C-alpha cells in the first residue's frame, strides 16, 4: 500500500532542513533499514533509513531543496508495487498534486507585495534563496541578488554562498603612505616586508561549515548560560594500561580495545554509582535518566561532533569498542543517524593521543558535565612512603552547577577514580 514519506525532524526544535541527496531513485526497491536520503542539519549530514522494505514510487522534492519538517518528500510503496497515476494517488492520500516542492521563500520587508510586482514588471527580479543562505550572505557582506543559485529554479543555497566567499578576490593592499621629513624627503614607515606578489592578502579566509557554526553557537551559549566549575584529578593508570595490554594480546589492530573505550565505560559505570550526575537541566525541572548514555567527542573535517553511545555500562568492552569505532567512522563520513546526535548527560573528550597532558573542556548542552582526558605519563609518585615511577592520567571534570552540586561531582570523580585504578571492575 502506498504511503507518504515526510521530512523528519532530524534535530530537536528544527523547523526545516535541506534534502541534500537521494540515495535511491524512482522505481528502486530498498530493504528495511536501508538509507533512502541524506538530510543536512546544522550538526551533520544524516541518513534517513527505511522503516520497512519497499519501493520508491515518486520523488516529490529534488536534491538541494530546503523543506519544512513534516512536508511530503516522496511516495513509497510495497516491494514490487507500481502506480500508473501518481497525481491521483497523491490526492487519495490527502496530499494533492505537488507542483512546487521547494520551501516557500519568506518575504522580506523590502520585497514588494504581489500586486505591486504585477503592476511594475520592470522592477527588480525576485531572488529565491534559503533562509540560511540569506543569513550567510549578509554575514559575508554579499548581495544575494548577485549570486548564482544551483538549487531548483535557480534557488541560492548555502553551498552557493560558500563558493562565492571562496571565489571572492582578496582585498588589495592599502597604498603606502609617505611622510616627509623636515627637508622634504619621503620616509616610509617601518613595518613587515611587503608580500612577494602585489595585492596578495597575508591570510586566507575559510568559510564556516554548518557544523563549525553550530558548534560555536552551542558552546558560546553554554559558557553564557551554564555556570561551569571544574574538578581535577591525577589518576594512577598502571593497572588500566596493563589490563588494556592483556585484552589486546593476540588481537589484530582493528579489534583492539583503546584507553578511551575503557574510560567511556568507566564514566558510564560511575554514573550508575552516582545517579545525581546523570541529569540535565531544563527550565521546569532537573531531568534524571534511567540509563547512563555517554557522548564521545569526535574531530571531523567539518568540525566537532558528539555521537551518543547508549548505555555503555551495559555493553561488554569488546562490543563497546566496536560501537565507538563505528560511531566515529560514521561521524567523519557525515553518516550519523539523527538519534545518535541526541541525548546523554555527560561527554568524554580525549586529547591524550595528541600528547596533551591536561585540559578543561566546555560543556556540550544539554549535558551536565564533560570529562577531559589527557595522556598517560610516567611520573614520580609516592607509594608506601617511597618514590617510584608510575603511570598517571590527568582528568578534568567540567560541571554545570545548575543541576549538579560540588559534592555530587566530587563523589562521581571518586567513583571514576576507583574504576580506573581498579579496572577489573570496568569489565564486571
CA torsion, points 171, 175, 176, 180, in degrees to nearest 10?
Answer: -160
The DSSP letter of residue 172 is P
**Average pLDDT of the residues in 257-262:** 96
Q: What's 206-218 look like in SS3?
A: CCCCHHHHHHHHH
Per domain, the residue ranges of the chain are 3-92, 117-167, 221-427
**Which of 208, 228, 367, 401 is labelled catalytic?**
401
Q: What's the confidence (pLDDT) of residue 113? A: 43
The predicted structure's pLDDT at residue 109:
35
pLDDT band at 110, cuts 50/70/90? very low
d(CA 163, CA 30): 34
Predicted confidence band of residue 121 (pLDDT cuts 50, 70, 90): very low
Looking at the domain covering 221-427, what would its CATH class be? alpha beta
Q: Which CATH architecture has domain 3-92?
A: Beta Barrel (2.40)
Long-range pairs, 25-33, Cβ under 8 A, ≥24: 25/56, 25/59, 26/56, 26/57, 26/58, 26/59, 27/55, 27/56, 27/57, 27/82, 28/55, 28/56, 29/53, 29/54, 29/55, 29/56, 29/79, 29/80, 30/54, 30/55, 30/56
Taking only the tens place, the pLDDT of each residue in 299-329 is 988 788 899 999 999 999 999 999 999 999 9
Is the domain defined by 117-167 classed in CATH 1.10.287.540?
Answer: no
Q: Identify the pLDDT of residue 69.
A: 81
Residue 365 clears pLDDT 60, i.e. is over it? yes
Share above pLDDT 70 across residues of the chain, in percent, rounded to a whole number = 81
Give the mean pLDDT of 126-151: 75
**Residue 401 known to be catalytic:** yes
pLDDT band at residue 104 under the 50/70/90 scheme? very low
Evaluate the omega torsion of the peptide bond into residue 315 and state whether it is cis, within 30 degrees of 0: no
> pLDDT higher for 13 or 282?
282
Contact status, residue 403 vs residue 279, Cβ threshold 8 Å = yes
Taking a C-beta distance cutoff of 8 angstroms, is the pair 349, 370 a contact? yes
Could you read off the pLDDT of 192-238 as tens digits, one per residue? 554 555 567 888 888 887 778 878 888 898 999 999 999 999 999 99
Query: Which range has highest mean pLDDT (32-46, 79-93, 266-280)?
Result: 266-280
- Above 60 in pLDDT, residue 190? no
**Rounded to two decimals, what is the model's pTM?**
0.64
* Per-residue pLDDT band at 132 (split at 50, 70, 90): low
pLDDT at residue 344 is higher than 60: yes
Asked if residue 363 has pLDDT above 80, the reply is: yes
Amino acid at each position: 500500500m502506498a504511503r507518504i514519506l515526510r521530512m523528519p525532524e532530524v534535530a530537536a526544535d528544527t523547523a526545516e532542513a535541506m534534502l541534500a541527496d537521494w540515495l535511491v531513485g524512482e522505481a528502486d526497491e530498498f530493504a528495511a533499514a536501508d538509507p533512502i536520503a541524506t538530510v543536512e542539519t546544522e550538526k551533520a549530514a544524516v541518513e534517513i533509513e527505511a522503516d520497512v522494505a519497499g519501493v520508491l514510487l515518486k520523488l516529490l522534492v529534488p536534491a538541494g531543496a530546503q523543506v519544512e519538517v513534516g512536508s511530503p518528500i516522496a511516495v513509497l510503496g510495497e516491494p514490487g508495487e507500481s502506480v500508473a497515476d501518481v497525481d491521483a494517488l497523491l490526492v487519495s492520500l490527502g496530499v494533492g498534486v505537488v507542483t512546487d516542492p521547494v520551501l516557500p521563500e519568506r518575504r522580506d520587508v523590502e520585497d514588494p507585495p504581489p500586486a505591486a510586482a504585477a503592476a511594475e514588471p520592470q522592477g527588480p527580479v525576485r531572488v529565491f534563496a534559503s533562509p540560511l543562505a540569506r543569513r550567510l550572505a549578509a554575514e559575508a557582506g554579499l548581495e544575494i541578488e548577485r549570486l548564482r543559485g544551483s538549487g531548483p529554479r535557480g534557488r541560492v543555497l548555502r553551498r552557493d554562498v560558500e563558493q562565492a566567499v571562496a571565489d571572492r578576490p582578496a582585498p588589495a593592499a592599502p597604498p603606502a603612505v609617505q611622510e616627509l621629513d623636515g627637508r622634504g624627503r619621503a620616509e616610509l614607515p617601518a613595518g613587515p616586508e611587503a608580500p612577494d606578489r602585489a595585492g596578495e592578502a597575508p591570510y586566507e579566509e575559510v568559510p564556516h561549515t554548518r557544523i563549525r557554526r553550530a558548534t560555536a553557537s552551542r558552546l558560546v551559549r553554554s559558557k553564557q548560560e551554564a555556570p561551569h566549575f571544574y574538578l581535577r584529578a591525577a589518576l594512577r593508570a598502571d593497572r588500566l594500561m596493563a589490563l588494556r595490554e592483556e585484552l589486546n594480546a593476540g588481537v589484530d589492530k582493528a579489534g583492539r580495545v583503546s584507553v578511551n573505550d575503557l574510560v567511556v565505560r568507566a564514566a558510564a559505570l560511575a554514573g550508575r554509582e552516582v545517579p545525581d550526575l546523570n541529569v540535565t537541566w531544563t527550565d521546569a525541572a532537573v531531568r534524571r535518566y534511567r540509563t547512563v548514555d555517554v557522548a564521545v567527542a569526535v574531530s571531523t573535517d567539518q568540525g566537532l561532533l558528539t555521537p551518543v553511545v547508549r548505555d555503555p555500562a551495559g555493553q561488554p568492552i569488546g562490543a563497546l569498542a566496536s560501537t565507538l569505532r563505528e560511531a566515529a567512522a560514521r561521524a567523519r563520513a557525515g553518516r550519523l543517524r539523527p538519534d545518535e546526535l541526541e541525548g546523554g548527560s555527560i561527554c568524554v573528550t580525549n586529547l591524550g593521543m595528541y600528547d596533551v597532558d591536561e585540559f578543561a573542556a566546555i560543556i556540550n548542552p544539554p549535558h551536565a558535565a564533560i570529562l577531559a582526558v589527557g595522556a598517560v605519563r610516567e611520573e614520580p609518585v609516592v607509594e608506601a612512603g617511597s618514590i617510584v615511577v608510575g603511570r598517571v592520567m590527568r582528568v578534568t571534570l567540567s560541571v554545570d552547577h545548575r543541576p549538579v552540586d560540588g559534592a555530587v561531582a566530587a563523589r562521581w570523580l571518586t567513583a571514576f577514580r576507583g574504576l580506573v585504578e581498579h579496572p577489573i571492575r570496568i569489565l564486571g
